[in-house]
Every structure is written in structure tokens, then in C-alpha cells.
């Protein structure tokens, strides 16, 4: 088991850290110390990529809020709730590349969405969703929310269904309104699931957005939707600059590590209480 | 003498004749094998070859042709299997770099000529064609100079690719312009754009989501103030600054197109191919394209509406009179291939006259081989393109930019201008930064580049 862990996790990690101190292609490396780390921080595109990843973290509270709202509605046993849950889950099971390609056509300057808006005489709303340097990253964020929130609904619904009904029923007997029951009785009971879901979504926003970005904007226009994992791919695989890609991967790892650390601290504080 | 001959024994004469005949046969056999390494011995052409092929984006129908050619070649060499793996434009360089890291993958791969080919050459990922293909055979191939480094040729050209400036005659007529005369200067170009816009027609239609148009615009417009290829190489080698107006003036022209609304408003949200589809759908009057697309449009019945020429003259340098053409994609044999001679033999076979002819018949694209007979070209538009492609002065400037500078500098900088968020000056500075970054991050590639360019 230890050998497998060493082989699968530790060795690649060490290799990435080692390569981050070299320049050149993998077959022709030269040691350059910490130059890659310094160069990355001086590279506006990389800094912009980090900022974009942070912007995409905004999708986490939004996705969670939408997922939670939908899960609570379904929890109220509305008619056909199982069917609705399946429908809401569908976007999550569609491969990200397919989602990306579909939305790339939908969101083009003269794509389906804008054509529909213009036909409705809403020309002011027909923006260049993926061709504008200011909008592209937010458009991708919206696609990620659309694609991911079904997963949140399923996870939270499962958590809600596992709750004992007595507490909620007692609140009902005490005259609590639906909002009060949800806010003060139900949500606190699934707090840990919500937190776990948020950490998963945050990691997705940091390190798993490549297929969306690649298929919708390719990181453009003018690197405006560049994110860290696309940056790593470009340098590591497209350009063969393994050192730069490895150093960027180490930064990404550190950023993910910070998130996991925060989550662990939160868990610890809760268990202490 | 006669008597003397008579005096020799009959047996001796027979022996001498037999030895002479044997020597002749041996000489002929040896001559055959050295004059064409392609057909050195039958047993070489066995085993399996993996061929990473790219061509469809340039030349629609090329993949189908190659599949048929492989089938034919396999029938000639029963012991040989060739697996064709079509590649995408987006991942062409990345996929090869990835596979090269593990020194496994294709026996034959393809990259665009010059820097995209020479970069893996300098990284030791490609086999020289020296010793694999006879010089007499290579002498028939066109534009091989694009892939020469260290005095050796490293890749095989398949077809010629020109980048014509194309206009739609019907839309020109609709705008009150002379349909048979394309703009030859920037002033004329802008005047045509103004007339087209006034008539409610989008003057230029392109797609730049994938960034290629930025490189193309630099290659066709941005080199016109330069006097030599060396001047172009100097800027990448660090001997000149891209922010110098002789290099970056084209970005001002691009910004002008954007500011005046002479280019389609969705240029940054559609890719190159979608831009050409829009041209074919008459959503714009002018475009930059390739021979292959023109051939496809002719097949689709658009021939009478197409005008083709070189791009309008903008600069005053010697390169302003160069036409943008290249051998485009080039096939090379990987350094790790276990079957190099079989791979070389297949590449040589692709250039045999019957295949050269069949390529043109099937795709309408011009083979990069002297043995191709131009009399086969019947269409007047294609004749005009062939004339352009075979002009003595040709340059595909994008091929001289290190791939990292192209993808991290030339392409995003132009996107910024087309999206309206960067000025020409900011874009030029961004390209200079990309050049500086490449020079810092890839010192070995830089050294190889300088050596190759002689700067």
C-alpha cells in the first residue's frame, strides 16, 4: 500500500517539484534554480490566470445557494420531485467537453442566444459573451454553475433525506414557519455536507475547469479567460516548457492546499465546539 | 586481333562473358538501390507504421485521400500496416510534444514547415532524411529549403499552400465596386471597405477565436516593411524590438479595421473555419484563406463569384512583394521510430507521379512536387492560385516565429486589438514581452534558432 502511494502520489509530486527548477524541454533540461517561480509572478498572463481562478471561486457560493434552494424545494416532497431531481442532475452527467462545445455555439456573438434576444428586440442584452475580454470569464462561470449545480442538488437532497424527521416535525408543532424551519432547523443539520460540497466545488473552480475553458474560449480573447490549469497545459504540453508548467502546478497545488487547510480548520473548530 | 581471339579457348570466352554479365547485373542492381533508397529491398517494408496525419483544415478531403493511398500501399506491401491517426490543429504541436516526452507514439508525424518542424528537430525528436531518401528523389520535392537545418533536410512536403486574399465578386458588384478588381493598396482596400459597409455588407469576415488570424495578419501585412527574412528572424533572436513600427505597424492597421467596423463583430467569438463558412454564406465580402478552401468553394459552385490575389500592398520593404505561400504541413520520421526506412519509403511513394496526380484530382490542392503537370489545372481561379504559389518570392512568416511567441504573443495580442481592449501599442508591447519570455525560458531553443538563422 505504501509503495502504491509512493508511486502514484509522491513520485509525481516530487517529479513536478524537481522539474520546476529547470528550463527547456523534458529531453533537454537545464537547472535554473527558482527562476521559473520568479518569472511566473512577473508574467501578467499567469497572474491574470490566478485572478480568473479566484473569480471562478465566486461560482461556489452561487452554485451552493442554488443547489440548496432546489434541494429544499424538493425536500418538501413536491409532486414529481424524483423526476425533477433526475432532470436537475442531467447537466452534471453531460461530459464537460460537450457542455463547452454546445455553449461555445450558443454564446457566440451571432450565436443562438443573441439571435433569440435580437428577435425579441432585446438588442441591448445581446452581448459578445465569449468574444469580449471583460465578459468571457463570467460567461464561463455561468456555464460552470449550470453544469455543476445538479451535483449539489443530488448530494444535498441525499443529506436532507437522511435527517430524522422528528426535529422538523417538533418545530412545525411549535408554530415555526417554513422559512424558520429551513433556516434554523434543517440547514444547520446539513451544515457539514454543505461545507464539504463547497470545498469540492472550490477545488473544481481551481483545478478542473480546463475542458470548459478550452472548448468555449481557448483562454481568450487575449488570454482574458486564461486559468491556471490551461496555462499549465499550454506550457507543459503545447510548448514543451516543462519547468514553467511544473512551477505553475506547484503554485496551483499551494492554492488548493490553502483551501483544504481552511476547510480542515473549520472542521476542527466545529468538532471542538 | 581476330586470329588472336580465335586462338583463345571457347570455355574461356564463355567464362569471361558470364562474369561480365554477372557484373553488369550486379551493377544495375546496385545502381537501382542507391538511386532510390525507397525501393532498396522488399523486406524493409514490413511491420507497422503509425502516421499522425494533419491536413483536413488546409485541404478538405486530404484525410480520405491519405486513407485510400495507405490502402493502396498496403496492397503493394502485404507485410506492412499503416495506422492513420488524424490530428487536430489545436493540439497538433501539443500532442507531439507530449508523446515525444516518452519517446513513443508515431513513426511519421506532421508539423507546419520551418519552426514547428525545426523545434522538434533541435530537441532531437526527428530523424534526418539523409540516408533514408535519395537526394535525386528529394530534388523533385518543392520548398524543401523550409525544413533545412544544419545542411540537412528533415521533412517531406506534401502540398503547396498559398494564402490568397479572396473577395466575393457579387457582393462587390452590389456595393457598386468593380467586381473584377480587388484592392491592391491599403488605401484602395479601405475605400472598398467603406463602400461595402455603406451598402450594408460586412467588408471583411474572419474568425479569430483560435488566434490564427492574428498570426496571418502579421505574416501578410506585418512583414511588408521588412527587406529580408533575416530582419524578421532578428526580432525573435533579440536583435531588434517588436515595438519598432516597422514590425508592429500592422497592429495599427488591424485596430483601424476594428474601429471602423470593417470586420465582422463576432470575429473573436468564432474560429477561423467558422469565419470561412461565414464568407461562403456571403456574410462578408473579403477574407484571408487557403487554396484548399478556394478549391472547396469552387466545387460548391462559387467559382464565378471568387476573385483571388495577393494581399493589398501596405509597406515599402522588399518583402511587400512576396506572396504568402508555404509547403504548409510537412511529414517527418520520428527519432524513436523502429522502422525508419519503411516510413521513408512510404513518404517517397506518396510523391510518385501517379500519386501526385491523384492527390490533385482528389483534393484540388497543388502537390509539392516538380513532377506535377500544371496542365491538369483547368479552373481559371485555381490557375491564378498556382501562378501565385509558384512565384519566386514566397514567405509564410508565421513559420519563422517560435511556436511559443506565436501562441503567447502574436495571437493573443491581435485578439486584444480585435476585441477592442488593447491599443496597437499595448499589443506590440505584449508581443515583445512574449519574445523576451521565450528567450529567457528556452535558452537552448534560442541558441539553436540563432545558429539556424545566422543572427
Residue by residue, DSSP assigns B288-346 as: E--HHHHHHHHHTT-GGGEEEEPPPB---SGGGG-B-EE--EEEEEETT-S-HHHHHHH
CA distance B440 to A43: 12
Cβ(B396)–Cβ(B163) below 8 Å:
yes
Does the beta-carbon distance from A222 to B93 stay under 8 Å?
no
* Angle formed by the axes of helices A11-19 and A242-272, nearest 10°: 130
- B95 contacts in A (CB within 8 Å)? 237
In chain B, residues with a C-beta closer than 8 Å to the C-beta of A129 are 269
Contacts of residue A251, defined as CB under 8 A and 6 or more positions apart, other chains included, come to A37, A40, A50, A228
Fold of A29-272: MetI-like fold (1.10.3720)
> ω into residue A186 within 30 of 0, thus cis?
no
C-alpha distances in Å from residue B56, one per residue of B72, B99, B395? 20, 22, 22
* Whole-number pLDDT of residue B22: 44
Indicate the domain borders of chain A. 29-272
B-chain CB neighbours of A36 within 8 Å are 441
Whether the Cβ atoms of residue B177 and residue B197 lie closer than 8 Å to each other: no
Query: What CA–CA distance (Å, rounded) separates B298 from B292?
Result: 10
Residue ranges of domains in chain B, CATH in brackets: 43-157+328-367 (3.40.190.10), 162-325+395-453 (3.40.190.10)
Residue B140 near chain A (CB below 8 Å): no
B32 inside 8 A of chain A by CB? no
Task: Give A199-216 as a DSSP string.
Answer: HHHHHHHHHS-HHHHHHH
Does the distance separating the beta carbons of A237 and B441 come in below 8 Å?
Answer: no
Q: How confident is the model at residue B43 (pLDDT cuts 50, 70, 90)?
A: low
Is residue B30 over pLDDT 80? no
Q: What is the pLDDT of residue A86?
A: 86
Per-residue pLDDT tens over the stretch A77-117: 778 888 888 888 899 999 999 999 999 999 999 999 999 99
A61 Cβ under 8 Å from any chain B Cβ: no
| A238:B416 CB<8 A | no
Note the pLDDT of residue A159: 94
Lowest mean pLDDT among A220-224, B126-130, B149-153, B390-394: B390-394
Residue B432, chain A, CB below 8 Å: the answer is: no
**B383 within 8 A of B220, measured Cβ to Cβ:** no
How far separated are the first and last CA of chain B, in Å rounded?
Answer: 69
Instruction: Give residue B57's pLDDT.
Output: 80
Place of cell 514543451: A240
The mean per-residue pLDDT over the stretch B337-349 comes to: 96
Q: CA nearest A202: which of A57, A96, A67, A68?
A: A57
pLDDT (average), residues B138-162: 93
Q: What pLDDT is recorded for position A273?
A: 64
Residues in contact with A208: Cβ distance below 8 Å, sequence separation at least 6, in sequence order: A229
Q: What percent of chain B has pLDDT over 70?
A: 91
Question: Is A261 an interface residue toward B (CB < 8 Å)?
Answer: no
Kindly indicate whether the ipTM for this predicted assembly is greater than 0.90, answering yes or no. no
> Quick check: B94 contacting A, CB < 8 Å?
yes
Kindly give the pairing relationship between strand B80-86 and strand B47-53.
Answer: parallel
pLDDT category, B314, cuts 50, 70, 90?
very high
- List the Cα angle B433/B412/B193 in 5-degree steps: 120
Above 50 in pLDDT, residue B25? no
pLDDT the model gives residue B5: 36
From B403, B404, B442, residue closest to A23, measured CB to CB = B442
Q: Are B272 and B210 in contact (CB under 8 A)?
A: yes
Give residue-wise pLDDT tens across range A188-210: 999 999 999 998 999 888 888 99
Alpha-carbon distances, residue B265 vs A42, B284, B285, B293 (angstroms): 33, 11, 14, 22
Percent of chain B with pLDDT over 90: 76
Give the residue from chain A lying closest to B441, CA to CA.
Answer: A23
Q: Please determine, for residue B301, whether its predicted confidence score (pLDDT) is greater than 70.
A: yes
Interface of B with A in 111-130 (CB under 8 A): 119, 123-125
User: In the predicted model, is pLDDT for residue B322 greater than 80?
Assistant: yes
B49 min Cα distance to partner chain A (Å): 23
**Please, are residues A22 and A252 in contact by the beta-carbon 8 Å criterion?**
no
Amino acid at each position: 500500500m505504501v509503495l502504491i502511494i509512493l508511486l502514484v502520489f509522491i513520485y509525481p509530486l516530487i517529479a513536478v517539484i524537481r522539474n520546476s527548477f529547470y528550463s527547456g524541454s523534458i529531453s533537454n533540461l537545464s537547472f535554473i534554480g527558482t527562476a521559473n517561480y520568479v518569472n511566473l509572478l512577473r508574467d501578467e498572463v499567469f497572474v491574470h490566470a490566478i485572478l480568473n481562478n479566484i473569480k471562478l471561486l465566486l461560482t461556489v457560493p452561487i452554485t451552493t445557494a442554488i443547489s440548496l434552494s432546489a434541494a429544499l424545494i424538493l425536500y418538501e416532497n413536491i409532486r414529481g420531485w424524483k423526476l425533477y431531481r433526475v432532470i436537475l442532475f442531467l447537466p452534471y452527467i453531460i461530459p464537460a467537453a460537450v457542455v463547452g462545445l454546445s455553449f461555445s455555439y450558443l454564446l457566440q456573438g451571432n450565436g443562438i442566444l443573441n439571435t433569440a434576444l435580437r428577435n425579441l428586440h432585446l438588442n441591448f442584452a445581446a452581448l459578445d459573451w465569449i468574444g469580449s475580454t471583460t465578459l468571457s470569464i463570467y460567461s464561463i462561470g455561468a456555464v460552470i454553475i449550470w453544469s455543476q449545480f445538479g451535483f449539489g442538488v443530488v448530494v444535498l437532497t441525499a443529506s436532507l433525506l437522511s435527517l430524522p424527521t422528528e426535529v422538523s416535525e417538533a418545530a412545525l408543532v411549535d408554530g415555526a414557519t417554513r422559512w424558520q424551519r429551513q433556516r434554523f432547523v434543517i440547514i444547520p443539520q446539513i451544515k457539514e455536507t454543505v461545507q464539504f460540497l463547497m470545498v469540492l466545488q472550490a477545488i473544481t473552480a481551481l483545478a478542473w475547469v480546463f475542458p470548459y475553458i478550452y472548448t468555449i474560449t481557448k483562454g481568450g480573447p487575449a488570454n482574458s479567460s486564461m486559468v491556471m490549469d490551461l496555462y499549465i497545459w499550454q506550457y507543459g504540453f503545447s510548448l514543451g516548457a516543462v519547468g514553467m508548467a511544473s512551477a505553475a502546478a506547484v503554485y496551483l497545488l499551494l492554492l488548493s492546499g490553502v483551501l483544504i487547510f481552511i476547510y480542515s480548520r473549520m472542521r476542527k473548530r466545529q468538532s471542538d465546539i | 586481333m581476330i586470329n588472336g581471339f580465335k586462338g583463345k579457348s571457347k570455355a574461356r570466352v564463355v567464362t569471361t562473358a558470364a562474369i561480365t554479365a554477372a557484373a553488369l547485373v550486379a551493377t544495375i542492381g546496385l545502381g537501382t538501390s542507391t538511386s532510390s533508397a525507397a525501393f532498396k529491398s522488399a523486406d524493409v517494408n514490413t511491420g507497422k507504421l503509425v502516421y499522425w496525419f494533419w491536413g483536413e483544415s488546409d485541404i478538405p478531403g486530404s484525410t480520405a485521400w491519405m486513407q485510400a493511398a495507405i490502402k493502396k500501399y498496403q496492397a503493394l506491401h502485404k507485410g506492412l500496416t499503416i495506422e492513420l491517426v488524424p490530428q487536430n490543429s489545436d493540439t497538433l504541436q501539443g500532442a507531439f510534444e507530449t508523446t515525444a516526452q516518452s519517446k513513443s507514439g508515431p513513426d511519421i508525424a506532421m508539423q507546419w514547415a520551418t519552426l514547428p518542424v525545426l523545434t522538434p528537430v533541435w530537441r532531437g525528436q526527428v530523424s534526418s532524411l539523409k540516408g533514408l531518401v535519395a537526394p535525386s528523389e528529394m530534388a523533385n520535392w518543392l520548398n524543401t529549403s523550409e525544413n533545412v537545418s544544419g545542411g540537412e533536410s528533415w521533412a517531406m512536403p506534401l502540398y503547396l499552400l498559398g494564402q490568397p486574399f479572396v473577395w466575393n465578386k457579387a457582393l462587390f458588384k452590389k456595393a457598386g465596386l468593380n467586381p473584377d478588381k480587388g484592392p491592391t493598396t491599403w488605401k484602395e482596400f479601405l475605400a472598398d471597405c467603406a463602400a461595402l459597409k455603406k451598402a450594408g455588407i460586412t467588408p471583411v469576415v474572419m474568425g479569430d477565436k483560435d488566434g490564427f488570424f492574428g498570426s496571418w495578419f502579421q505574416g501578410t501585412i506585418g512583414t511588408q516593411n521588412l527587406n529580408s527574412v533575416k530582419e524578421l528572424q532578428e526580432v525573435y533572436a533579440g536583435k531588434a524590438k517588436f515595438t519598432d513600427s516597422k514590425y508592429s505597424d500592422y497592429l495599427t492597421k488591424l485596430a483601424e479595421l476594428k474601429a471602423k467596423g470593417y470586420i465582422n463583430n463576432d470575429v473573436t467569438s468564432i474560429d477561423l473555419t467558422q469565419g470561412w463558412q461565414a464568407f461562403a454564406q456571403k456574410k462578408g465580402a473579403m477574407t484571408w484563406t487557403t487554396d484548399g478552401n478556394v478549391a472547396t468553394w469552387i466545387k460548391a459552385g462559387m467559382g464565378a463569384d471568387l476573385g483571388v490575389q495577393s494581399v493589398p500592398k501596405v509597406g515599402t520593404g522588399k518583402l511587400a512583394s512576396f506572396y504568402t505561400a508555404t509547403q504548409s504541413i510537412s511529414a517527418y520520421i520520428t527519432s524513436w521510430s523502429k522502422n525508419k526506412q519503411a516510413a521513408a519509403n512510404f513518404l517517397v511513394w506518396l510523391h510518385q507521379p501517379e500519386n501526385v496526380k491523384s492527390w490533385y484530382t482528389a483534393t484540388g490542392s497543388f502537390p509539392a512536387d516538380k513532377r506535377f503537370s500544371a496542365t491538369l489545372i483547368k479552373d481559371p481561379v485555381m490557375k491564378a492560385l498556382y501562378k501565385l504559389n509558384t512565384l519566386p518570392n514566397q514567405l509564410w512568416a508565421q513559420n519563422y516565429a517560435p511556436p511559443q511567441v506565436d501562441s503567447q504573443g502574436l495571437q493573443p495580442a491581435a485578439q486584444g486589438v480585435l476585441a477592442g481592449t488593447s491599443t496597437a501599442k499595448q499589443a506590440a508591447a505584449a508581443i515583445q514581452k512574449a519574445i523576451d519570455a521565450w528567450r529567457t525560458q528556452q535558452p537552448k531553443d534560442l541558441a539553436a534558432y540563432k545558429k539556424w538563422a545566422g543572427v
